[in-house]
Chain A
Amino acid sequence: MTQPTQDPGTQGTEVVSTSVPPTRPPLAQDTAGAVQAALGAEHAAVWVYGLVSAFLPASFDKAIGEGAQAHRSRRDTTERLIGASGATPAPAEPAYLPPKPVTNQASALELVVGAEQDCTVAWRAVLERTDDADVRTNAVAALTESAVRATRWRKAAGITPITPALPGQP
């Protein structure tokens, strides 16, 4: 898990249309905690995609762009879900500390795989902590998409096994 290096800072806001209603009932306390943690994993993934782009050749540009966009979109949806239920979405950290220094293509690929795996674990944890149908729909989609991207990156990096049998299982 990438660790924040500084105190929380401010962040930009983007407007993306999704199916989250403007207001909704509050989330149960355990659900809210898990969703905030998943938001944290999405913030970290957005940051990681920004970092690794400096270490990967242009042939990865499309995959980086798609991954970054997917995480920004999931982050925004999750922030709106938290906001609509009356809570305050946790902001992104200004920077994160990768578990290992990123110095080249191999370490960059390893970091992006790790960021996707962190998202799968966080979203599976949401599934285990909510009875809310909308939250579950969101969580299983996020879990699945991160698992597929992690697989794609492992394939590119030659990391085996290419996928675990049960992505998101801690």
Chain B
Amino acid sequence: MSATPPLTRRALLLATAAAGLAACTPAPAAPPPPDPLAALAARARSDAALANAIATAVPALAAPAALVAKSRGEHAELLQREVDRERPPKPSSSGASAAPTTTQAPSAPTDQAAAVKALTDGLTSAQREAIDVVAGVPRYRAGMVGSVAAGCASLVEVLA
């Protein structure tokens, strides 16, 4: 910086021309930070998919796993609807972002204890992530995400 050349007339013209161009070209805005609810929705979808697979694979867990699948499916739908409401998906990608059923069916553990552990681990992480999100979101979202956290904790109790 110490060796800055003196500002010549040519340099000044070039600089103003460039500035004018820059002003006309829309600067590529920094992409907005990802919606924190999108990650919660994704986890809810994968929990629901795992629970569905376990409900089929482990008959002894059919009822509790079905409740986990239903509840986490509701969480996914609610959270995704809120994400899409605040930041409507582009038409080309709307199908992909809003379709919870496209998640590939995970392979379910057939051992009962392993299946309970897999579900419980997912729900415990989901609860923790939701509680982390509650602190920094607008009020109506805080209520929604708080209920999701409480729902995950309750589902852990269902499996206990």
Question: Can you list 25 A-B pairs, Cβ within 8 angstroms, ordered by A?
Answer: A123-B146, A124-B147, A124-B150, A127-B139, A127-B142, A127-B146, A130-B142, A131-B139, A133-B135, A136-B134, A136-B135, A137-B135, A139-B146, A144-B153, A148-B153, A148-B154, A148-B156, A148-B157, A155-B157, A161-B67, A163-B157, A164-B151, A165-B74, A168-B150, A169-B147
A113 within 8 Å of B (CB atoms): no
Q: Give Cα distance in the complex from A86 to B70, angstroms.
A: 44
Q: Mark B126-153, 1 if CB is under 8 A from A, else 0.
A: 0100010011000110111011111101
CB distance from B32 to the nearest CB of A (A): 21
Q: Give Cα distance in the complex from A148 to B150, angstroms.
A: 7
Query: Which residues of A line the B interface, CB within 8 A?
Result: 120, 123-125, 127-131, 133, 136-137, 139-140, 143-144, 146-148, 150-152, 155, 161-169
Which residues in B have their C-beta under 8 angstroms from that of A148? Answer: 150, 153-154, 156-157
Q: Given the known A-B contacts A127-B139, A128-B139, A136-B142, are A151 and B157 also in contact in the complex, defined by CB atoms under 8 Å?
A: yes
Q: Give Cα distance in the complex from A124 to B99, angstroms.
A: 28
Query: Which residues of B line the A interface, CB within 8 A?
Result: 67, 70-71, 74-75, 78, 127, 131, 134-135, 139-140, 142-144, 146-151, 153-158
Q: Give Cα distance in the complex from A151 to B134, angstroms.
A: 22
CB distance from A45 to the nearest CB of B (A): 16
Identify the closest chain A residue to B155 (Cβ): A163
Which residues in B have their C-beta under 8 angstroms from that of A120? Answer: 150
CB distance from A145 to the nearest CB of B (A): 8
Which residues in B have their C-beta under 8 angstroms from that of A147? Answer: 150-151, 153-154
Q: Give Cα distance in the complex from A35 to B33, angstroms.
A: 32
**In the complex, which of the residues A127, A143, A168 has the most CB atoms of chain B within 10 Å of its own CB atom?**
A127
Q: Are A144 and B150 in contact (CB under 8 A)?
A: yes
Q: Give Cα distance in the complex from A130 to B153, angstroms.
A: 23
Q: Give Cα distance in the complex from A120 to B157, angstroms.
A: 16
